[in-house]
Structure 1
Amino acid sequence: MRLMEPLGIAQDIVEPTVLKRWADYPNQHRYTDYSDSVRETAHHAISPFPYQPSLNNKLALWTGDISILQVDALVNPTNETMDDNSTTCQKIFSRAGSALKIEIFNEIKECRTGEVRVTQGHGLPARFIIHTVGPVYNVKYQTAAQNTLHCCYRNVLQKAREMGLRTIALPVINSIRRNYPPDAGAHIALRTVRRFLEQYDSLTCVIFVLEPCDLGIYEILLPLYFPRNLAEQDNACWQLPNDIGGMDGEPLLPDRQIRIIDNPQHALHGDDTVELSSQLETSVNIGEHAFAQMQGDLDRQRLLGERPADPLADIMLKQMQHKERYENL
């Protein structure tokens, strides 16, 4: 099919129906035989992403121009002021025409990191554009970056579902220009899309729009999250990372215990530490829990300006007093 540009120049467009689905892609990588492995053990006893042909038939890969895809929506990874100059953005804005810039200037203004904004497709064959802003990656704050990237993908998919859209073109949202490791970003993207497709049947086609530098990464990682046969499913048990995210593909944080140290010097020797959880009442029966006992006096305490009894604060105060006595010796 051909689309006429304003100057009368014919432009090819691509419909999702003509794209090869992931289920039909040939396997280009040799399987690793783990049956005789002695030193290694599988990361997962059973595959957390089992073989489901119906999901594989919803995926397609595209390495061409995103702006010629005739989808319900395409995704534009941009910056907070929505004027990014990446190759993908330039292609989208060039085909959409000046009306897109006018809509953004008059109605959208900006987009915060991790959030999404929707505009019309204007001169694009796509009906809508879903804009989102990926995170800046810093090793010191990598957990925050992982959570934000997950939010980008999840929010894009949720917005498409809310709008009743069926087909979407999804480029790589994480960017090397923002220091995000491509392979780490691909893991989050694939597991987030996988969990969404498992939960909702709203989308009939998700097109991963990939640059040549990302294509090899996705071809290697896709079989882990979307195995095309039982052999790939079994291999995924060994090759998937231990951290496969939560129910929505979101990163999981390990539980942390709060510890109060009497004397910082003792922390080096591992003694004289107190865990708050062992000091607090653990019963949750109504009337027995420390917080439940003070519910009747809360209004009175607020009106009189009195501080409600707080068992956690009392423990911390006692620990501070103990520390002060120690330092005065």
Structure 2
Amino acid sequence: MRISTRQGDITRLAVDAIVNAANRTLLGGGGVDGAIHRAAGPLLLEECRTLGGCPTGEARITGGYDLPARYVIHAVGPVWQGGMAGEDALLAGAYRHSLLLAQAHDLARIAFPAISTGIYGFPAERAARIAVATILDHAADIEVILVGFDGPGHATLRQAVEEARR
């Protein structure tokens, strides 16, 4: 298992799958979710409509359509409620379920955004540590790229990876 970080637009990565920080409906939204839906084209939404949503802490997989990635794994992270409502476990579950789907589909290389850290308000440093720990525990033979859209987001992810390697 290899883990690395990158700054940029996750929709441009030519990997086996990109992970979408989705909402429970899987029907698109703001932030990375909206960007992925726009870049993938209307067939992604059409397929997502057939899935019936996804519970918080789990994930579903679809085709990648117009994306360079073959698949999109839609992971539903929790809305931050102060840290006392099981948010850590739900966030870890979203990463774990994504990795299990990647393994079930024999995917070698996937890219994750920082799930739940945008409009869902999960503290970025805490989320990054949970992401890295879960990936290290469950990624097995998968190469994982953590993608921060901007400089501060990337720096937070990079710091969590560096801390885990110590």
**AA matched with 2:116:** N
Alpha-carbon distance in structure 1 between the residues aligned to 2:58 and 2:48: 15
Contact 2:16 2:107 in 1 (8 A): yes
Consecutive unaligned residues of structure 1, counting only runs of 5 or more, are: 1-54, 227-232, 234-329
Matches within 5 A, 1:1-329: 55=1, 58-105=2-49, 107-139=50-82, 141-142=84-85, 144-197=86-139, 200=140, 202-203=141-142, 205-212=143-150, 213-226=152-165, 233=166
Residue range with higher mean Cα deviation, 131-140 or 184-193: 131-140
Query: How many residue pairs are counted as aligned between the two chains?
Result: 165
* TM-score, length basis structure 1: 0.48
Q: TM-score scaled by structure 2?
A: 0.91
* Cα RMSD (Å): 1.6
Native 8 Å contact 1:186 1:218 kept in 2: yes
Percent of matched pairs sharing the same residue? 31
The one-letter code of the counterpart of 1:125 is: P
1:140 is displaced (CA, Å) by 6.0
Determine the structure 2 residue equivalent to 1:4.
Answer: none
Please state which structure has a larger fraction of its residues in strand: 2
Distance 2:83 2:133 in 1: 23
For residue 134 of structure 1, what is the amino acid of its counterpart?
A: G
**In the aligned structure 2, how far is the partner of 1:122 from the partner of 1:189?**
26
How big is the shift at 1:168?
0.2
C-alpha change, 1:140 and 1:225, in structure 2 (3 Å) is: closer
User: Contact between 1:71 and 1:168, CA under 8 Å: does it hold in 2?
Assistant: yes
Distance of 1:150 and 1:90 partners within structure 2: 22
User: Any unmatched runs of 5+ in structure 2?
Assistant: none
Distance 2:159 2:105 in 1: 32
Q: Residue 171 of structure 1: CA displacement?
A: 0.8
Q: Which digits, 9 at most, give the CA deviation of each residue in 1:250-276, with x for residues without a partner?
A: xxxxxxxxxxxxxxxxxxxxxxxxxxx
Q: Residue 102 of structure 1: SS of its match in structure 2?
A: helix
Structure 1 residue 187, shift from structure 2 partner:
1.0
Structure 1 residues 122 and 183: alpha-carbon distance in aligned structure 2, compared to 1, 3 A threshold: same
Tell me, in whole angstroms, the C-alpha distance in 2 between the residues paired with 1:99 and 1:219.
33
Do the aligned partners of residues 98 and 140 (structure 1) sit closer, same or farther apart at CA in structure 2, a change above 3 Å counting? closer
Work out the CA distance in 2 between the residues paired with 1:119 and 1:110: 12
Give the SS at the match of 1:141: coil
CA distance in 1, matches of 2:90, 2:83: 15
Query: For 1:115 and 1:183, how far apart are their aligned partners in 2?
Result: 21
Opposite residue 86 of structure 1, the aligned amino acid is G
Question: Secondary structure in 2 aligned to 1:130?
Answer: strand
- Matched with 1:319 is none
Q: Report the structure number with the largest CA radius of gyration.
A: 1
- Identify the structure with bigger relative contact order (alpha carbons < 8 Å, sequence gap 6+): 2
1:69 corresponds to which letter in structure 2? L
Distance 1:88 1:210, change over 3 A: same
Report if the CA contact (8 A) 2:10-2:149 is conserved: no
Structure-2 change in CA distance of 1:60 and 1:221 (3 Å): closer
State how far apart, in whole Å, the 2-side matches of 1:162 and 1:140 are: 31
